[in-house]
Chains A and B, each alone.
Chain A
Amino acid sequence: MIEVVLNTGSTVRQGAVIKGGRKLTDEYVKEAAYCSLNPEDKGDLGSPEKVKVRTDVGEVTVYTRVDEGLNSGQIFIPRGPWANLIISANTMATGSPYYKGMTAWVEPSQERVLDTETLINRYYLNKE
C-alpha cells in the first residue's frame, strides 16, 4: 500500500462520453473508472490491473493506467461516480467539494470494477 495525493478532474474522452449521454455504457467505465499512477508507483505495487483507492470517506476499486506526468505520490482519477465514492463532501464553506488534494491510500485489488448501473443501485438504491 502507498500513500498518495488524490487529484480528480475532467479529461477530453470522459467529457465526450458524458456529453454524448453514454453514462450507462461500458465506455464510461473505460474512461472514468481508472486511476493514473506514476510508472514507479505502479511498479512498486506490482503493476496491478486494478487498485483499491481509499480515503477517509470511502474506497473504490478501479483499473490502473500509467501517466509519466505524475510525480511519485500523485494519482489522478477522472471525474465521475467512481471518484465520488472517495471525495470528501466538505466544501470548506464554499459549496465546492474537496475534489483535488485529499490524502489517499492505494493497494492492488482483485475486486470487480462496478459498472455505472450496479454502482448506483448498490450505493444509492440499496439493490444490486
Chain B
Amino acid sequence: MACDDIEVEVKEDEIITKNTCLMGNSKFQELTSKHRLVSPTIDGEEVEWKEALKRSAEILKNAKRPLIYIYIGSETSVEAMKVGINMADHLGGVIDNNVSMCHGPTVLGIQESGSPSSTIGEVKNRADTIVFWGSNPMESHPCHESKRSVFPMGFFRERGRNDRKVIVVDPRLTNTAKQADLYVRVKQNGDIPLINAMRTVLSGKELNEFTEKSTGVTPEEIKEMIDILVGSEFVAVFVGLGLASSRGKDKNLATLFKFVAELNEHTKCIAMANRGHCNVAGFNQVCGWMTGFPFGVDFSEGYPRYNPGEFTTTDMLVRDEVDVVLLCCADLGAHLPKKAVENLAKVPLITIDISPCPSTMISDVVLPGVIDGMECEGSFYRLDNIPIRARKFIDPPFDFTKSNEDTLEQIFEEVKR
C-alpha cells in the first residue's frame, strides 16, 4: 500500500475514483461488480451462513496440524489479522502471510543486517538520489514515482524531478529503467557480486579483472554509480522482488543493507522495500507485536516458534505437512508453485474471498469476503510501516458479517464451542 490520497464518489451503481492507478481503480470497481461472491458455499452448493461457519469450525477442530494462513494482501485489516493469529495460537497451528513468498527474504535481510529507514514523506522532501534495485514501480507501484519519490516537489527539492537523480539496477531494461539517469544492467543473479564491488570502491580499493564477468557491469559504471551516491545529500534505495525472488534471496538484501550502512559514513542513505498488496506490511507489524516474529510462526508446541523454510506456507505445503488451510483474502491457488497448489487442493480448504478465483475453485467451504477499508473501517500499514485508518463509505452486499475481522471472530467462536 502506497496511496493515502484516494478520493471516491459513490453514485447509484457507479464508483468514481480519483488518484488511483489502473490496479487501484479495478479494486474499487469490485464494490459493484457482478461477479462478487455474496453467498457462502460448501462443495460448490449454496448454504446458509451459519451452516458454512459450523462446517468451517468442524474442519478446523478436527485438524491435527492446521495451517491457518491469513493473507493480508488485498483488503484485510490488521484487526482481522489479530483474530487470525489468536485462532492459530488456540488451535496450535501455523500462521503465515504472503510476505513469506513475497518480501520475506527482505525481512530476513533486515534481521541480519539492519536497515536505516524513514517515512516515504521524508524521501519526497529530502532525497536527491533515488535508487530502484530489482524494482519496477512503473508496473508494480504506478503512483510511486509521480507522488512519492521521483517527480513530486519536496521541501528541499522544490524542482521535483529536476532536483533528483534516478539510478535503476535491473537485468531487464524496464519502463522504470528507461527514464533513469543511470541504468545499471546487472547480470541475472549477479547482485551480490555487484554490491560487493560497490563496497570495494566505496572503501577506496580497486576492482579486479573479474568484476565485469561476475556482475555484467563495467568497473567504470560501478565507479560512476558510487560517485553519484557519495555526492548526494540524501539517498533512498527502494528494493524490489528482483532481489528477494532471485538466487541469493535474503543474502542479496543483507548484503545491500550492509552497503547502505557503509554509505551512511559518507552521506545519508535509507532503504525501503517496495511492498505491494495493500496491508502486507501490517502483517509483519501485528505478528511481530503478538508473537515476536514477523511471519511463518508455529504454535504446535504451545509457544511461538519461527523458522523460515520450515514453518512457511510453500515449504509446509510442498512437504505435505498441512491438513487444513483457512485462507483469508488470498489466492494461493493463483500464486504458489504447482507442487504446493497440488497439495493445497488435496486438503480441506476454507476460503474467505470477494470474487471467484483458483482458490475458490479448489475450496471445500467459501465464505464471502468484505472489502475492508471500504465496506468497514480498519487499520492498514503503508509500505513505510506508517499505520493509516481507513474509513467505511459503503455497506457490504450482505448482512451476515460486517468485516473480515467479524467473519474470523464468528468462526473462532464456533471453534471454541
- Seen from chain A, the residues whose Cβ lies within 8 Å of a Cβ on chain B are 5, 7-13, 15-24, 57-58, 67-71, 74, 76, 79-81, 84-85, 87-89, 91-101, 116-117, 120-121, 123-125
B270-290 contacts to A (CB < 8 Å): 276
Q: Which residue of chain A is the closest to B361 with respect to CB atoms?
A: A120
CB-based contact A21/B171 at 8 Å: no
Residues of B within 8 A of A68 (CB): 173
Q: Quick check: is B174 within 8 A (CB to CB) of the other chain?
A: yes
CB-based contact A120/B333 at 8 Å: yes
Q: For the complex, give the distance between the alpha carbons of A73 and B29 in Å.
A: 39
Of the listed residues B24, B276, B295, B356, the one surrounded by the most CB atoms of chain A closer than 10 A to its CB is B356
Q: Quick check: is B40 within 8 A (CB to CB) of the other chain?
A: no
Of the listed residues A16, A21, A23, A69, the one surrounded by the most CB atoms of chain B closer than 10 A to its CB is A21
Q: Which residue of chain A is the closest to B137 with respect to CB atoms?
A: A12
A-B contacts, 14 listed (Cβ < 8 Å): A16-B23, A21-B30, A22-B355, A57-B338, A69-B177, A69-B178, A87-B338, A92-B247, A94-B104, A101-B245, A101-B246, A120-B362, A124-B333, A124-B362
Additional A-B contact list (9), CB under 8 Å, known A20-B29, A23-B358: A5-B188, A21-B36, A71-B172, A84-B336, A95-B313, A100-B245, A101-B188, A117-B361, A123-B342
Size class of the contact patch on chain B: 35 or more
Residues of A within 8 A of B318 (CB): 89
Q: Quick check: is B108 within 8 A (CB to CB) of the other chain?
A: yes
Contact with A along B230-257 (1 / 0, CB 8 A): 0000000000011011110110000000
Residues of A within 8 A of B344 (CB): 124
CB-based contact A23/B334 at 8 Å: yes
Residue in B140, B172, B245, B338 whose CB lies within 8 Å of A99: B245
Residues of A within 8 A of B242 (CB): 9, 100
Residues of B within 8 A of A79 (CB): 335
Residues of B within 8 A of A91 (CB): 101, 308-309, 312, 314-315
Least Cβ–Cβ distance between B68 and chain A, in angstroms: 16
Q: For the complex, give the distance between the alpha carbons of A58 and B308 in Å.
A: 25
CB-based contact B241/A100 at 8 Å: yes
Residue in A17, A71, A74, A94 whose CB lies within 8 Å of B250: A94
CB-based contact A97/B362 at 8 Å: no
CB-based contact A19/B23 at 8 Å: yes
Q: A16-B23, A70-B172, A91-B315 are in contact. Are A97 and B104 (CB under 8 A)?
A: no
Q: For the complex, give the distance between the alpha carbons of A24 and B26 in Å.
A: 15
Q: For the complex, give the distance between the alpha carbons of A25 and B313 in Å.
A: 27
CB-based contact A89/B314 at 8 Å: yes
CB-based contact A94/B361 at 8 Å: no
Q: Which residue of chain A is the closest to B340 with respect to CB atoms?
A: A89
Contact with A along B167-182 (1 / 0, CB 8 A): 0000111110110000
Q: Quick check: is B224 within 8 A (CB to CB) of the other chain?
A: no
CB-based contact A7/B331 at 8 Å: no
Q: A7-B171, A99-B245, A123-B342 are in contact. Are A15 and B140 (CB under 8 A)?
A: yes
Residue in B108, B315, B337, B354 whose CB lies within 8 Å of A84: B337
Residues of B within 8 A of A76 (CB): 172
Least Cβ–Cβ distance between A74 and chain B, in angstroms: 7
Q: A89-B340, A97-B101 are in contact. Are A12 and B142 (CB under 8 A)?
A: yes
B337-393 contacts to A (CB < 8 Å): 337-342, 344-345, 354-358, 361-362
CB-based contact A87/B140 at 8 Å: no
Nearest 10 pairs of A and B residues by beta carbon = A21-B355, A95-B312, A93-B309, A95-B100, A20-B26, A69-B173, A99-B245, A89-B337, A124-B345, A15-B23
Residues of A within 8 A of B333 (CB): 81, 120, 124
B23-69 contacts to A (CB < 8 Å): 23-27, 29-30, 33, 35-36
Residues of A within 8 A of B104 (CB): 94-96
Residue in B178, B337, B356 whose CB lies within 8 Å of A24: B356
Least Cβ–Cβ distance between A67 and chain B, in angstroms: 8
Least Cβ–Cβ distance between A92 and chain B, in angstroms: 5
Residues of B within 8 A of A69 (CB): 172-175, 177-178
Q: For the complex, give the distance between the alpha carbons of A17 and B26 in Å.
A: 7
Q: Which residue of chain A is the closest to B344 with respect to CB atoms?
A: A124
